[in-house]
Amino acid sequence: MKKENKIGNGVRGVVAHIVLIILSFMCLFFFYILIINATRSHADLQKGFSALPGNSLIKNFKAVANDGTFPMVRGILNSLIVSSLCAAICTYFSSLTAYGLYVYDFKLRKAAFTFIMAILVMPTQVTALGFLRLITNMGMYDSLLPLIVPSIASPAVFYFMHSYLQSSLPISLVEAARIDGSKEFQTFNRIVLPIMKPAIAVQAIFTFVGSWNNYFVPALVIQSKNKMTVPILIATLRGADYMNFDMGKIYMMISVAILPIILVYLFLSRYIIAGVTLGGVKE
C-alpha cells in the first residue's frame, strides 16, 4: 500500500512539473520573442518569424536613442516619475483609508464602504470628459499632475488593504498603542504600516505596472512631446508613416520599456505570495 502511494505521489509530481514547465514556457516565450525581435532589423522582421537572434541590437538601440523626434530617455523618466509617485501615494492613502474604516466605528462607516465599492465598478471612460474639463479649468492640462494626483483615491487598492487588515491586524493592538499614549498617525505609521508591508508591496507592484502601461489618460491630457510617457511614445513609433516605419525600433523600445517593471517586480517579489495569501484570508 505504501509502495503504491509512493508511486502515485511520484506520478503526480512528474505531471505537476510537466504542467509547470509548459506554463513557464508559455509565459516566457513571448518575452523571448520580444527580445529576439529587438535584435533584428526591419528587413529581417518582414521576412517572418525567427527564433534565432539577429545582429541589429546595437543598431536598433542607437536608432531609438539618437532619434531627435523621439525622446526615449525623457519618456522613460516621465513614466518612472509618474509610476513611482502613483504607487507611493496610492498604497499609502489607500492603506490609511482602509485603516480608518476598519478601526473606527462611526455611523456612516457602512455607507462610506458601500460608496467606495460603487466607485470601483465605474469605468474610467465614463468620467473622462468631466475629468478633462476639470483639469483644464484647474490649469493642469498638458502636465504630469493629472496622471499622479487621482491615484490618491483607488477603490480596488482600498478593498485589498481593508481585507488584509481584517486578516492581520487585531483591534487590541491598536487599543494597546492608544493606552501607551501613541497618537493616531503615529500608531498608523509605526505599527500598522510595518504589518502591512506584504500587502503594500503587492499593490505597489500592481499600481506601478498599471500606471506604467496606462495609455488612455496620458493620451487624453498630454500634448507636449517632452512630457509623454512610454506607451504614448511607442504609439507614435507605431503610427509613423510608411517610409519611416521601423519594426526593429518598436521592439527595441518595448524591450527597454519593460526593464523597470522587471526590476520593480524582482525588488518586491518576496512580499507577493505573503501579501496575496493573507489579503484573501479572514480570521
Least confident of 20-29, 200-209, 221-230, 270-279: 270-279
Q: Could you give the CA distance from residue 166 to residue 263 in angstroms, rounded to a whole number?
A: 31
Q: Could you give the CA distance from residue 27 to residue 87 in angstroms, rounded to a whole number?
A: 25
Q: Could you give the CA distance from residue 176 to residue 191 in angstroms, rounded to a whole number?
A: 11
pLDDT at 281 over 50: no
pLDDT at 215 over 90: no
Percent of the chain that is helix, strand, coil (3-state, to 5): 80, 0, 20
Residues of the chain above pLDDT 70, percent: 87
pLDDT at 1 over 60: no
- Mean pLDDT score, 130-153: 88
- Mean pLDDT score, 123-145: 85
Chain Cα centroid distance, residue 271: 15
Residues of the chain above pLDDT 90, percent: 12
- Greater pLDDT, 30 or 89: 89
**Average pLDDT over the chain, rounded to whole?**
82
Tell me what pLDDT residue 158 has.
92
- Mean pLDDT score, 109-115: 89
Q: Could you give the CA distance from residue 155 to residue 121 in angstroms, rounded to a whole number?
A: 9
Assess contact for 265 and 205: CB atoms under 8 A: yes
Tell me what pLDDT residue 91 has.
94
Q: Give pLDDT tens digits for 58-87.
A: 888 887 777 766 777 888 889 999 999 999
- Mean pLDDT score, 134-158: 89
Report residue 279's pLDDT band, with 50, 70 and 90 as the boundaries.
very low
Neighbours of 97 (CB within 10 A): 21
Instruction: Tell me the backbone φ, ψ of residue 182, rounded to 5 degrees.
Output: -75, 135
Tell me what pLDDT residue 282 has.
44
Q: Give pLDDT tens digits for 23-38.
A: 888 888 888 888 888 8
**Top-confidence range, 14-18, 24-28, 143-147, 240-244:** 143-147
Tell me what pLDDT residue 238 has.
63
- Mean pLDDT score, 2-10: 60
pLDDT at 242 over 60: no
Q: Which amino acid is at 8?
A: G
Q: Give pLDDT tens digits for 159-195.
A: 999 988 888 888 888 888 888 888 888 899 888 998 8
Q: Supply the Cα-derived Rg of the chain in whole angstroms.
A: 24
Tell me what pLDDT residue 272 has.
64
Tell me what pLDDT residue 92 has.
94
pTM of structure:
0.79
